Structure 1
Amino acid sequence: MCIAAFAASVQFQVEPVGRWFEAFLKRRTRNVSASFRELEEEKELSEESEDEDLQLEEYPMLKTLDPKDWKNQDHYAVFGLGHLRYKATQKQIKAAHKAMVLKHHPDKRKAAGEKIVEGDNDYFTCITKAYEILSDPVKRRAFDSVDPTFDNAIPSKSEGKENFFKVYAPVFERNARYNFDSWREFSYLDEEEKEKAECRDERRWIEKQNRGARAQRKKEEMNRIRTLVDTAYSFDPRIKKFKDDEKARKEAEKKAKVDAKRKEQEEKERARQAELEAARLAKEKEEEEAKQVAMQAKKEKEIQKKASKKERQKLRTTCKVDFQCICSVTATTLKNAYVTYATTCFGA
C-alpha cells in the first residue's frame, strides 16, 4: 500500500452556522479569541465564585432591633456585611438580602413554629429597611456619610512627622471615596420627615430646618477635610521636595539672569574699551602722520636752507672774482674804452 495516498490532504471551506456562527460574530466584533459561550460561562463562573466567597457575619442583635428606630440601626451589620461596609458591591448586598429573607422571613419562621409579631413591629421590617437604604445609591451614600464606624480622626503633627506615608495612607484611603469628590452629605440625620407634615407650610419649615442643619454639618466636615489636607501638606516629604526643587529652580533662574546681565555688562564694557582703544589708535596715527608731515616739512626747509646758503656762497665767490677782475683793469684801458663808447654814441 502506498503511504503517499494517505498523506495527501484535501481542503474544504467551512462556514459556522447556528450557535457557532453567533460565537464567530462575537469573536470578530469583540476581537477576542474565546467564543461567546465561553465568555458567558466565564462570567457566570466568576459571579458564582463571588457569591461563594461572600462571608456573612451573624448579627446577634438582629432580633432585638426596633423597626421604629431604623435610623439608628447598622444596616451593614443587619446583612452581615459589617466587615465590608461601603466596599460591599450591589451584588453582595442582593445576595445578603436574599439569604436574610430565606432565613428570617415571617412566613418561614411561622412555619417553623415561631411566634410572629403582627404588622410592621416585627424585626424583619429592619431587614427590609436596610435593603431599601443600601440598594439605593443615593440613600446608601447618605447612610455612608454618617456611618458610625467611620473614623473622623486626623493624625497629630507629631504622628505625621515621624512616618508620613504609614500614618496618612489609611487616612486618605478612608476619606477618598467617590473619586475624592465631597461625598459626605447629612440628609440621613434630618430630624423630621417632611412627608409627614400636615401642610405645605409645615413641610417648608421642616425642609428649612433640615437644610440649615445639613449646611452646618457640611461646614464642619469641610473644616475637618481642610485641616487634614493642611496637616498632610505640611509634612508630606514630596511637597518638601517639590518646594526645594522649585526653590532651586528659581535660584538657578535668578543666577542665570544675574550671569546673563553680568555677561551683557562685560560685553558692553569690552565694546566700550574697544571703541576707546580704536579712538586712541586713530589719534596716535593722526598724530604720527602730523609728526611725519612736520618732519618732512622741516627736512625740506633744511634742504632749502642749505641750497640757499650754497647759492649765497657761490654768488659771493662769483662777485669776489668779478671785483678782482675789475680792479685789475688799468686806467688807460678804461679811458680808451670810454672814448670808444662816446665816439660810437655821440660821434666825433
Structure 2
Amino acid sequence: MPIIKTEQIKAGSCRSDVYGSFKALNVPGEWKLLEIEAAGKHFLKYAQKKLGRQAWDKNENELEEKQKEEKKSEVYDEEEDEEILRYDPKEYKQQDHYAVLGLSKLRYKATIEDIKQGYRQKVLKHHPDKKATQNNTHDDSFFKCIQKGTKKAMFDVYLMRQILAMEILSDPIKRRQYDSIDEKANVFPPSKKETVNFYEQWGKVFESEARFSNQHPVPTLGDEHSSKKDVEEFYNFWYNFDSWRSFEYLDKDTPDDSYNRNNKRYQEHKNRAERAKRKTEDTARLRRLIDDCLSLDPRIKKFRQEEKAAKAAKKHEHKINMQKTPEKTDKEEQEKKGKEEAAKELQKEEKKAKEIQKKTMKKTKKIIKQSLKTANYFYAGENTPPDIIDKVLTDAELIIQKASSDLTTFTKELENVTKIENIETIFKTYIKKLLEEKVIQTLIKKAHKIHL
C-alpha cells in the first residue's frame, strides 16, 4: 500500500461524551512524526471511484445484502409450521410466541430489536389485506395470534421511527412470566450413563438454567483445567441459587364478575397455591440436577484423589523422619518420663512433710494450751476472767506462728510439768530468748500484761 500522506500527530488522550463533544483527559505529550498509510474498505472504495471502476459499489452492495440474508436465516425461522398457522387467538396462552414471530432459534436470547423485526416481517406476510389480494380470502386468525404476541403502538413514517409495544414479549414482566414456563428453551441433563463430553453437555444445561438468575455474572461449569477454587465457587453459587422464575403465566383467569367476588377471591387463592407448589417443585428439581452433576464431575474425584495422595505423602515423610532419629526420640522420651516421675516423687514427699508438720503443730498447740490451762493462764485469782484467757491464748498463738522452728525444745520442757511456777519460768525464759533474738518485738508489752 503506498504512503499517501505524512502528518505530524501530537500524542494525547481524549474522550467523547454522550452528546458527541470531546474532553481532554490528560496533557498532550511530545510531538512525534508518523507515517499514515491509506488502508481499509473505505480507501478501496475511494480508489475504485477514482479509477472509474463503479462496479465496486454494486459488488459491495450485493455482498452486504447476501450477508444480511445469511444473518436473517440464522436468526429467524425459514419456514412456518402448519401447526403454528392453525393457532386459535382465543387460546393465546397455549401458543408459542417465539415461534409465531419466527424466533424459535433465539427464544429468551432474542433482543427487543429481534422481536420488532420479527413482528414487522410477520405483519407484512400475514396481514389480512395482503392475503385477500393474494388468495382472495379473509382468514385473519394467525394475524390475531401475531398481534397477541406483540402489540403495535405507533408508526411515524416521516421520522423513520416505529415504536412497538408488546403485550408479552416486549413487556419485561410478562416476558419473564412466559420465559419461566417456556419448556422449549430448557436443556435437559444427560443420563448418568453418558460420561462422554461431560463439560459440553452439562455446560449447556447450566447455561439454560442461568437465565433465571438474579445474580450476575453467573459462573460457568468450566473444564478439566479449572482450579479447585473455581469449581467450589461454581457449586456454592448453584446450591445458593437466587432465582426469579415464577409461574404466574399458568394462572387460570379470574372471573371478571363484580357481582360474585367470592369466586374471584377463591380463584386468586387457588392460583397462589399452585404457584407456590410449582416453585417448590422447581427448586427441588434444580437441587437434584446439581447433585447429579456433582456426583458425576470428574474434577471432584480428581481433587479427592489429590488430597488423599497429599495426606499419604505427608504421613510417609513423617514416618521417614521418625526412622532417621529413633535414638534421639527415645532419649527425649526417657528424659521426659524421668522428669515426670521425679516431679511426682517430689510432690509426694512435700505432701507427706506437710502432713507431718500439721500433726506436729497440732500436738504442740495442744501441749501449750494444756500448760497454760494448768497455770491458770498466769492469773493470781481463782477464776480467770475470759478476756485474760483470750489475750493469753492470742499471745501463745503468735509465739507458735513466729517461732514454729524452735518449739520442739520448748514443748519437751512443758511436757509433764504440773507446777505453775515451773510453767511460768519456762514461758518467761523462752519469751526472753525470742526477744533477744528479735523474733517477736510485739510481745514486750503483752508479756508485762500477763506478768511474764
TM-score tier by shorter-chain length is: 0.5 to 0.7
1:176 to 188, 210, 218: 210
C-alpha contact 2:108 2:185 (8 A) present in aligned 1: no
Identity %: 41
1:59 to 80, 85, 91: 80
- The yes-or-no answer on 1:196 pairing with 2:231 is no
C-alpha contact 1:90 1:135 (8 A) present in aligned 2: yes
Q: Measure the CA separation in 2 of the matches of 1:144 and 1:208.
A: 23
2:120 to 87, 91, 98: 98
TM (norm. structure 2) is 0.43
Counterpart position of 1:68: 90
- Report the CA distance shift for 1:255/1:90 in structure 2 as closer, same or farther (over 3 A): farther
Q: Measure the CA separation in 2 of the matches of 1:194 and 1:261.
A: 80
User: Unpaired runs of 5+ in structure 2?
Assistant: 1-7, 9-18, 27-64, 151-166, 219-241, 340-452
More divergent stretch after superposition (222-231 vs 145-154): 145-154
Q: Measure the CA separation in 2 of the matches of 1:53 and 1:136.
A: 26
Counterpart position of 2:293: 232
- Report the CA distance shift for 1:251/1:26 in structure 2 as closer, same or farther (over 3 A): farther
- Report the CA distance shift for 1:205/1:183 in structure 2 as closer, same or farther (over 3 A): same
C-alpha contact 1:145 1:184 (8 A) present in aligned 2: yes
C-alpha contact 2:255 2:264 (8 A) present in aligned 1: yes
Structure of greater relative contact order (alpha carbons < 8 Å, 6+ residues apart): 1
Q: Measure the CA separation in 1 of the matches of 2:321 and 2:243.
A: 49
- Report the CA distance shift for 1:204/1:249 in structure 2 as closer, same or farther (over 3 A): farther
Q: Measure the CA separation in 2 of the matches of 1:94 and 1:29.
A: 39
- The yes-or-no answer on 1:159 pairing with 2:180 is no
Aligned-residue CA RMSD (Å): 4.2
Counterpart position of 1:34: none
User: Unpaired runs of 5+ in structure 1?
Assistant: 1-10, 12-21, 31-47, 276-348
- Report the CA distance shift for 1:253/1:272 in structure 2 as closer, same or farther (over 3 A): same
Letter aligned with residue 127 of structure 1: I
Counterpart position of 2:146: 127
Q: Measure the CA separation in 1 of the matches of 2:319 and 2:279.
A: 51
Higher strand share: 2
Letter aligned with residue 124 of structure 2: L
Letter aligned with residue 229 of structure 1: I
Counterpart position of 2:446: none
- Alignment coverage as a number of residue pairs: 235
Counterpart position of 1:205: 266
- Report the CA distance shift for 1:272/1:240 in structure 2 as closer, same or farther (over 3 A): same
Letter aligned with residue 26 of structure 1: F
- Report the CA distance shift for 1:163/1:80 in structure 2 as closer, same or farther (over 3 A): closer
Task: Compare CA radii of gyration and give the structure with the larger one.
Answer: 1
Q: Measure the CA separation in 1 of the matches of 2:315 and 2:248.
A: 54
Counterpart position of 2:275: 214
- Report the CA distance shift for 1:137/1:267 in structure 2 as closer, same or farther (over 3 A): farther
Q: Measure the CA separation in 2 of the matches of 1:68 and 1:100.
A: 19
